[in-house]
Structure 1
């Protein structure tokens, strides 16, 4: 394959060969559910994911006629494992444990995914069980209250991780009141407040055939998979021949962002300060996203990166230091992160920002560009040795971009990125308002030079 393949929502069947001679097929059922598979020659296992086009950003505030649904998406991720009209929570767990399979779920800001990895012979079981979970969850009142406690413990665990706290504060600072700025798992108070009725309404409104995408990679036959999914849906009362159009994808266009606090310091009596500094980035469909990958690699993507070499190797100021980027349909973030001693926090923050400004002002070298290309090409190839990565790639392609880009095409687009592209992107990023988040035994004064515009 030499170019991206579009995934029109109105096209019922599609098949093509991707890099490495893997066969990719796509079927849109009459009820709007989409099924995609990638056959990997020689594989003896398969990974399957059921994606729902709803994330934490889609939760709603309370109105006169509706209760708030904040925290409902993550709540549902837990509850769907707690039993259906046919299976208890133990039955679901035993089904996968008995075959040595793996099963789990994840909630993100723009989607939810329930997935499993099993031997090829056990894929029919995975289809049957996950379909049952997705379509026929009881949301039992007793289990609901039990799981409320479990989720509160999960949030408490995350709150004990200073890196997680710094990241949540960073997103809140960069994205402000935009729904993407809210924490994925909800806040303790929203979990305490949300009712079973509100979560049930969220389930009914968003868990429909037209919202669901099934992706599988590995030892999978597409026609068999389509037949298995269709049969499981029919048993659940979601007949595959019902007529409905797939839910429209999110519009890939930048939103107007009004950021939150430029500086957020959470005082904790811990040994290190966990820092994140940055601002708005790119949306998922931005043509500069390949330049972003190159910039991210050069700045903080490995042991040869600028941040690692300057802050850890040359100065010994931190053990962990890196850069990161997050892209969504209408907003994005770009940040620099480190963990260091309290006394060094202000210096490390200034040095990290100086490295980004250095790229904006002086650009990057040919050697850095070549090294980034090699790192990204190799890492992408290695990741695709695993069926989990290929299953996820299909899901993201279908839900977000509406196009499939294979390894060869990805590398070709990375090769087109020039030194000027990287420098211009850095200039764009440094022109955005700066947000600093820090967790540790540090005062706000340590970051005053950055907030004042001095680096």
Structure 2
């Protein structure tokens, strides 16, 4: 990717448009990324963002849900969405020749959803089933329990799906009001990557706004309160499962903290791949788990670093001891020059391989623009990675892993 391939425009109503031209492909991926997620919901609105993710596909004044699905299917395209803690995304991937159609449908569902009462009620039941299904997956549930323990009494600790009581009680009018407040141009980024022309994308977006009588102008990014300093030391959910699922973690740097690049390296060394310390120690050397890895969380005001493992109930204590011992070791000794070199190479390779298709590139430029206000080039990312040193990773590990750790287990009672 070169900077020349990128183009950014901010429309008069506040909508930011960022595109990356890829002349070598025949596809296009495009989407609206909304700067609102589950963290921006009042307690009574818990699950509203995810509810909207479903409802915006259920029809507009000019298209039914069936027509939306059939139109996209007819050109071999794909339309989907997802909800996260701090944003929600709606996207289409299709042939470049059908970019205008995809843009028209996306604009239609974003600016002019119908919220037909019968569709709201039908989708309410779908979401309730999704909540039940999610609760039946202990490997997913453990991450939710960990978030609640890491950010107690704060929206970051709430489940993105909402809970049964709030979903059942949420009337259509309240969902429509949430949409009217948050789905406004200045709180959205539109991104497109593929064999497209930036000016044509901007013109298509303006046409979509004109069809919606200009949409709702203005708007702003939500204002969020940071979580308090307190965390829960441990939490357990008893489930009659064959495996126990466990997480050990700590609070970490927020998403724009300069130390985030050092954390990326630390994450890879500790549990980011097959050569990582924990994978080698717990799986390869002792055979105590099939799945063991680390990951990081990055939010506007806070973040986290965590290690996950799934093991048999009788081995939980041993696996926890190994995790804590490795975290203690990296906190006291840091990482080696060889580990830093390997991590850099792996991260560069992962980035390059992850940019092989238009969908991945669209996601990258959209996320970067929405949460950081910029889209760095690959060369700029390489430079930031080069600036990470053994000393900076060691300093981060000492400060981060010396804090009190949160331990969560989901599995059968012992």
Output the TM-score relative to the length of structure 1: 0.88
Q: Which residue of the partner structure matches residue 274 of structure 1?
A: 245
**Superimposed CA distance per residue, residues 125-159 of structure 1 (whole angstroms, 9 cap, x where no aligned partner):** 01101110011111111111111110011111111
Cα shift readout 1:303-324 (whole Å, capped 9, x = no counterpart):
1000001111111111110000
* Contact in 2 for aligned 1:23/1:39 (Cα 8 Å): yes
Whole-angstrom CA distance in 2 between matches of 1:238 and 1:209 = 10
Equivalent residues in 2 for 1:192-207, closer than 5 Å: 192-207=168-183
How far 1:247 moved relative to its partner? 2.6
CA contact (8 A) 2:184 2:219 kept: no
Matches within 5 A, 1:13-412: 19-20=1-2, 23-61=5-43, 68-238=44-214, 247-248=220-221, 255-412=226-383
SS at match of 2:5: strand
Distance 1:201 1:232 in 2: 21
How far is the alpha carbon of 1:390 from its aligned partner?
Answer: 1.4
Deviations 1:78-128 (A, max 9, x none): 000111100000000011100110110011111111001000011100110
Aligned residue pairs total 414
Contact 1:70-1:194 within 8 A present in 2 as well:
no
CA distance in 2, matches of 1:142, 1:425: 53
- Residue 197 (structure 1) shift: 1.8
1:424 aligned residue: 395
How far apart are the structure 1 equivalents of 2:121 and 2:229?
A: 36
SS in 1 for 2:45: coil
Which of structure 1's runs of 4+ aligned residues deviate more than 4 A? 248-251
Displacement of 1:175 in angstroms is: 0.8
**Distance in 2 (alpha carbons) for counterparts of 1:260 and 1:427:** 19
Write the distance in 1 (CA, Å) between the matches of 2:218 and 2:119.
34
**Paired position in structure 2 for 1:5:** none
Q: Give the secondary structure class of the aligned counterpart of 1:139.
A: coil
Whole-Å separation in 1 of the counterparts to 2:181 and 2:219? 14
- Taking the aligned partners of 1:21 and 1:435, their CA distance within structure 2 comes to 42
Conserved 8 A contact 1:169-1:264: yes
TM-score (norm 2): 0.96
Does the 8 Å CA contact 2:19/2:192 hold for their aligned counterparts? yes
Conserved 8 A contact 2:53-2:83:
yes
Gapped regions of structure 2 (runs ≥ 5): none
- 1:256 Cα deviation after fit: 4.6
Contact 2:28 2:195 in 1 (8 A): yes
**Aligned-partner SS, 1:403:** coil
Q: Root-mean-square deviation (CA), in Å?
A: 1.6
- Cα separation, 2, equivalents of 1:210 and 1:43: 31
> Any idea what SS the aligned residue of 2:289 has?
coil
- Paired residue secondary structure (1:90): helix
Task: Report if the CA contact (8 A) 1:292-1:422 is conserved.
Answer: yes
Q: Deviations over 1:332-352 (max 9, x none)?
A: 111000000101111111211
What corresponds to 1:65 in structure 2?
none
Consecutive unaligned residues of structure 1, counting only runs of 5 or more, are 1-18, 62-67, 444-455
Per-residue deviation, 1:259? 3.6
- Counterpart CA distance in 2 for 1:414 and 1:428 is 20
